Amino acid sequence: GVQVIRAVRVFRALRLVTRFKGMRRLVEALGKTLPRMAGITALLSLIIYIFSVMFTEFFRDDKLSEPYFARLDGSLLTSFQMITFDSWAEIAREVMAVQSWAWLPFVSFILITGFMV
């Protein structure tokens, strides 16, 4: 009953897309960009995974970086946090307090993913 009515509403909205030329162009453009976006998303996901494994291997034994890089799932979350530029410098500084060379993987990650995002 209710689900059928909701489905009809969706089809009514789709019918509007075909009526308005501007909306049709917008939907067509979105459809054309999706395959390219899928490739970029897959590449970005692979880069995030590679760097997360690297961060976990490099920094899991440090007490200061334990909340960020002790396990792979934490490293993935921290990597996602860093590509959104959400206090990535603070995380890097905490790790660099223990290992001074740690700036290299952090800056590399930000530079590589910054161009993709």
Contact (Cβ atoms closer than 8 angstroms) between residue 85 and residue 92: no
Instruction: Tell me the CATH class for 2-116.
Output: mainly alpha
- Mean pLDDT computed over 42-70: 92
Burial label, 95 (beta-carbon count in 10 A; 0-12, 13-18, 19+): buried
The 8-class DSSP code of residue 97 comes to T
Confidence of residue 10 (pLDDT cuts 50, 70, 90): confident
Confidence of residue 90 (pLDDT cuts 50, 70, 90): very high
- Domains in the chain: boundaries: 2-116
